[in-house]
Amino acid sequence: MRRRLALASTVLVTVGVALATPGSGAMGITAGVFGAQPNAVDFGNVAASAPQTITETLTNNGASTVNISSTSLSGTNQGDFSLSNDSCQGAAVGPNNTCSVDVTFQPSSNSSESASLDIADDDPSSPQSVPLSGTGVADQFSVAGGPLDFGDQRVGTMSTNQSVIVTNNTDYAANPAGVSVTGANAGDFAASGCSGSVPGGNTNNTCTVDVDFTPGATGARNATLNVAGQQVSLTGNGTDPSAGVSPGSLSFGNQPLHVISQTVAITLQNNGTSPLTYSSTGVGGADPGDFSVSDADCAAKVTLAPNASCSITVAFNPTATGARAAVITINDDDPQNGTQSVTVSGTGTPSSVGFSPASVTYTKAIPAGTASPGHVVTIRNLTSSPMPIVSTGLGGTNPKNFIRSADTCTGRVLQPNTTCTIHVSFTPSAAGRRTAVLSVTDNGAVSPHTHQVTLTGRATAPKNPKSVRGAVGCSAVTVTWVPNTATRFAGTIVVRNHARYPTSPSDGHVVAHSSGVAHDGGLKHFSNYYYRVFSKYHSLTHKGQLNYSKGVRLREHTGEICTPQNGARLRNLRPRFTWLPYPTQNGYAFVLQRGQTTIWINYTRRTSWQMPATWRYRSSTHRLARDRSYTFYLYAYPAAHPNGIFIGKVAFRER
């Protein structure tokens, strides 16, 4: 009985490992005048759906002509063998001449079978028998890796591909036929691969079909992958965000010039089935400077889960009398409508103070924790009588994000049509749009006595750490980075979350680390972990406050192989490979590749392997080298997959 253990890889070059020598153990044709080629007919592994034929040639090795009276089959499984194109039966075969007969094997069981080809003739050595053998397999091809579930995928976007491995279970090259996708949502799945003949035997006897999912609509999507006469279930769920805003318009009514109104909230809600990402808010239209907007809530949340919401506040501070209007635009990644618009309006009524400029906008974004150059705000008395300035101050949404200086107004009496000035700098404490108002209070004869000018600036997050990389094993993740060298740099924070990417330094478990390296151990096997690496900085404008970068995201999946970690950069040219035990009957096989070139195939029954300094493979000596990248593929042989199954891989680089 033939015992074979083959393995397959999803890389471009498929490799195989034979763990036993094939062969039936038959001795060959019985002694006599005829020699046979082949000496014994061993069909190897054959599927009933793909019977195989071998031509048996008989040579007369005697000194005289031999007359063959019959060729026939006998033995335990003779019914699964048949003869055709028989030029031997009834033939007179002269010395050194030949005749031939085709023998076909079509097994009826999934086990070893045998029979004999019997030759009867007029030579004293008659009869002679040629042993026939073969092993029946259930299917010509087997498909491993299904069913494929792609989970949630945003409509119109392509998933990461998933694969099934098609193995030729016979010893004969065969074509698994065209790969196709059928079913209710066949157009949402694309499959490619296994387009040609697949070799039989122990080596290179597999091909890979890659499938990706691009949902065309929301909801459950399903189809069937057809390959090699077998079917694999394909499922996925199409999701999409859907943005909605309320109210659709705002009216502030009458408002005195330079007197800011109460704020009103606009709600942005995700009415869809996948996360909605908020990006920015803008003000346009006829009078954008008369309306101040704060998106602090949405900017802090950024991502809205289905049914979640955030708010944007609006205030009206007219800079001229009469009807004033603007349009607030809210930008997000709603695929149907990425910009939501809200119309805002109000009426400016006369006031006693004029501001120049009518509103202050800091056009250049600056990092949070730093300060902009000062803007000069000029206040003018528009009345016909003296106006004592009682006080000036900052208020509104983010008053601590602006600083007054060089105030020539407080305590001064402004004569008609005269001016005073105040310098205002933007000192953001956090990233995003920041707004406030500069208020001036007078004790003059004309009311109202409080006047305001809107201040608006935008801050960016400070710089992220550089060269952030992750490496993952079976129960640990290593994160590395290059720390920032800015003078106000205060350190790095590595945050891990099991369910999603952390949104802030407090959103998850903070991983302890030394300079530039964090080792996160004790993790669950075969699980996803989400990391974000933040840089923190001392604020130059708010004593004792820290500012954080947006953070660099990493997603790592703990797998079968423990060391070296996937993505690792090693200095050891003799690394030790370790992996989790797998229910295998015949140990493990591994394949080591440099680029796309296989440089080693080996076998072990242990769950570890110490890399030697050198080794021989295909008549060449190999070793690991500096500045080269390698991939280690691991295979096991469980009872359900006696020909081997791929269970994990790691990619690493020697430096």
CATH of the domain at 157: 2.60.40.10
Structural domain count of the chain: 6
The answer to whether the predicted template modeling score (pTM) of the entire model surpasses 0.95 is no
| pLDDT score for 2 | 32
| Same domain membership, residue 256 and residue 246 | yes
CB atoms inside a 10 Å sphere around CB 646: 23
| pLDDT score for 599 | 93
| Same domain membership, residue 444 and residue 376 | yes
Q: Does 19 reside within a domain? A: no
Q: Express each pLDDT in 605-651 by its tens digit.
A: 999 999 999 999 988 999 999 999 999 999 998 887 887 888 889 99
Q: One-letter amino acid identity for 552?
A: V
| pLDDT score for 524 | 92
Q: Does 16 reside within a domain? A: no
Q: Does 5 reside within a domain? A: no
Instruction: Please report, for the domain that includes residue 601, its CATH number.
Output: 2.60.40
Give 444's pLDDT tier (boundaries 50, 70, 90). confident
| Same domain membership, residue 390 and residue 441 | yes
Q: Does 23 reside within a domain? A: no
- The answer for 90, left when phi > 0, alpha when psi is -120 to 50, beta otherwise, is left
| Same domain membership, residue 473 and residue 452 | no
| Same domain membership, residue 145 and residue 126 | no
Q: Which domain holds residue 481?
A: 466-557
| pLDDT score for 640 | 78
CB atoms inside a 10 Å sphere around CB 588: 24
| Same domain membership, residue 367 and residue 320 | no
| Same domain membership, residue 494 and residue 548 | yes
Q: Does 3 reside within a domain? A: no
The pLDDT of residue 13 is above 70: no
The pLDDT > 70 percentage for the chain reads 96
Write the DSSP symbol of residue 174.
B
Q: Does 203 reside within a domain? A: yes
CB atoms inside a 10 Å sphere around CB 482: 13
Buried b (16+ CB within 10 A) or exposed e, 378-415: ebbbbbeeebebeebebebbbbebbbbeebebeeeebe
- Among the candidates 323, 345, 367, a domain finishes at 345
The pLDDT of residue 52 is above 90: yes
| Same domain membership, residue 130 and residue 153 | no
| pLDDT score for 22 | 32
| Same domain membership, residue 210 and residue 244 | no
| Same domain membership, residue 535 and residue 586 | no
- Among the candidates 400, 426, 458, a domain finishes at 458
Q: Does 377 reside within a domain? A: yes
How does the average pLDDT of the chain come out, rounded?
Answer: 89
| Same domain membership, residue 356 and residue 285 | no
Is residue 526 within 8 A of residue 516, CB to CB? The reply is no
Q: Does 334 reside within a domain? A: yes
Cα 515 to chain center, whole Å?
Answer: 28
The pLDDT of residue 329 is above 50: yes
| pLDDT score for 25 | 39
| Same domain membership, residue 429 and residue 366 | yes
- Among the candidates 207, 239, 271, a domain finishes at 239
The pLDDT > 90 percentage for the chain reads 70
* Sign for the pseudo-dihedral over CA of 173, 645, 610, 20: negative
